Chain A
Amino acid sequence: MNVAPDSYVTLSAVLFCIGVVGVIARRNPLIMLMSIELLFNAANLALVTYARLWLNNAGHIFAFLVITVAAAEAAIALAIVAVAFRSLPHVDADDAALLKG
């Protein structure tokens, strides 16, 4: 089966948009984190697609880097969210606005 590269890129764009909307529109930190993961994966898909298309392994390498960073981010972000759960009455990202100028 040979799928046109356009389809992969389109899928990647769609996933990215879903992720962006998720980060911006949702207030639950867990959902926001999931949306961020979606952004990472959209980017990964695009990287891998172009790597295959142009026969350049840099895209693969970057994809691995992104996966590593995403893992680290997930670990830290989940820890932060867990702490926030304990100290805040509601689980709402907009309530954590202590740094308002």
Chain B
Amino acid sequence: MLAFIWLVPLFGAVLLWTLGPQLRSWAGPIGSALIGASFLATCALWNGATAPGGVHEGLGSWLPGWSFGLQLDRLSLVWSLIITGVGFLIHVYSIGYMDGDRAFARFFAYMNFFVFAMLTLVLSDNVIGLLVGWGLVGLASYFLIGFWFERPTAVAAARKAFVMNVIGDVGMMFAIFVIVAKVGAIGYAAVFAGVGRALGPHDVFLICVGLFIGCAAKSAQVPLQTWLPDAMEGPTPVSALIHAATMVTAGVYLIARFAPLWSASADAREMAGVIGGVTAIAGAILGCVQWDIKRILAYSTMSQIGYMIMGVGVGAYAGGVFHFLTHAFFKAQLFLGAGIVIHALADEQDVRRMGGLRTRMPFAFAAMLVGVLAICGVPGFSGFFSKDAVIYGTLSAGHPLLYIVGVVTAGVTAYYMFRLLFVTFFGSYRGDIDAAGAHAEGEEPHHHAPAGLMNVPVAILMVPTVLIGWLDAGGENSPWQRFFRGFPGFEAVPSTTAPAISELASTLIVLIVVAVGFGIAYARYGSGPALAGAVARLRTEAERAPRVLVHAYYADALYDAVFVRPARALGTWFDRVVDPHVIDAGVREVAISAQWLGHLFRSFQTGLVRAYALSLVFGVACFVAYYALVFGVSR
């Protein structure tokens, strides 16, 4: 049954890839149905997975102690349900969004392949299978970011994402090397059993660092964050599924999966918590100066994953995973809502050229509004519960600094999300105004009619976006806390100091900060005076934005200067010096020597039979003389 969940998407990928041209518009429904089947199979395994030990299925053994298998326990169940469930909805959405694309079948083949890769990652019961899945999702992400490969920017973004991800893969490989060298087995259970025995504190820290490099690359944490905004070159459903809901949260899964290791290393937890916090605030601040609707969402994804990493990093595993769960719903919702807008405006992504869409697209507005309320943590919506769990988790783990970062980030998040909402949906439509400020005459850009099929998944997603948070209502005895009670490694790390303030007070503080963020956004973008001169004001604001933020802290420029340019200079040097003067010269010298030898020996080839005979006789004479001298002439 587990293998069925796992292999059905692979079957779909192969089927759609090979028979794509024949299937035509059937490719979408078939691909969606297969993911739906996988989702139903996952649901059917609910009882087995929540039983102690979960469901396990062996796949075979390579060497003794190296058996491969699939396992579905509570943690992988959460992920599998999101991957196949949200994946199914996004597949259905894509039928509408990708309608008419030349490579319709190829898109669904890639999407199914991604689901297969992601399931490999979360269902594997050993570190090698995890690494395989880890690499495969990177590959699927590469395929899908570069899906429109005729755009040079998409190809560059795909390559960048792939390279960044490979850095992470290498980090993970080193972690696995340490595990194999010290423990000698690859199964999770064996690895966790080795903590404190075969794995000393130093080994555990090393493994955690290696894993965290993988996690940072995949989850766009500082300093490997630069690929995620560029990844928005892919089709919007891809951004929703891979670069918001599932793949980028694989880092959270990784830390939660290896919780027994992280629990054993305070230094590693410190590192993850700090980097998560830095990413959360850095991503949120960058979201404030972006104008591309998808890039705003991308930076918000980066920031929210920072929250999750911060949560699991400080030991609030259940909280971090819960934020993953709610984020998967509301971020997918936001992306799909943005997709409806983009699709309807003929691929316009600049929010400055939108505006006033509230009346033109009421459904998209409702979808985005619900998503924004959820991400900002408005009470009752899902983000309220999960974000609070993470933020308060940092405080109860004894990290007041991270707590402050979390609170401030919540305010900044409210600011840029409401800014997005106001600029896009309020005021009047600015898409038909040209650079000079006049209403452009002439042709209206080709606007798609909103596809009914695209609205259905968004409407379905709205339900969990609003309600899923209530799973964690009720403190220690909430359904969510009970779900993960006793999960290996999830026991809260005992804190040395009691939190300075109660959870209720913390919630109030967060809400006040969120309200302040909302207030600033409203004053700048939502109020009557702000909306009046919106066109000119938005333009000057874009010009006056701090350069360091517009250039995303110059991270790209820095990497360009530190890695890309030296590598290119080295390549040029090899091209100019080593290649012609060492490699080519070597080959040339061999040829010249052969030619010279040929010249030497051709002088012996006189063609005269008698000369050959003479040399023969001479040779024989030499032999005779040699033997005569050596052995003497016996008498």
Contacts and interface: CB of A to CB of B under 8 A. Distances in A.
A100 B614 contact: no
A97 B607 contact: yes
A30 interface: no
A20 B617 contact: yes
Given A20-B617, A24-B617, A98 B610 contact: no
A42 B97 CA distance: 100
Contacts of A52: none
B602 A101 contact: yes
A24 B618 CA distance: 11
B608 interface: yes
A32 B608 CA distance: 13
Contacts of A24: 610, 613-614, 617
Contacts of A100: 605-608
Given A20-B617, A24-B617, A93 B609 contact: yes
B634 to A, nearest CB: 13
A73 B603 CA distance: 29
A99 B602 CA distance: 10
A56 B392 CA distance: 110
B610 A23 contact: yes
A94 B617 CA distance: 18
B559 interface: no
Contacts of B603: 101
Contacts of A98: 607
B16 to A, nearest CB: 66
B4 interface: no
A98 B606 CA distance: 9
Contacts of B605: 99-101
A52 B160 CA distance: 91
B554 interface: no
Interface string B531-558: 0000000000000000000000000000
B604 interface: yes
A99 B612 CA distance: 12
A48 to B, nearest CB: 20
A97 B612 CA distance: 11
Nearest to B621: A20
Nearest to B614: A24
B610 A101 contact: no
A90 interface: no
A96 interface: yes
Contact of A97 (B601, B602, B604, B608): B608
Interface string B593-635: 0000000011111111110011001000000000000000000
Interface of B: 601-610, 613-614, 617
22 contacts: A20-B617, A23-B610, A23-B613, A24-B610, A24-B614, A25-B610, A27-B610, A32-B609, A32-B610, A93-B608, A93-B609, A94-B609, A94-B610, A97-B608, A99-B605, A100-B605, A100-B606, A100-B607, A101-B601, A101-B603, A101-B604, A101-B606
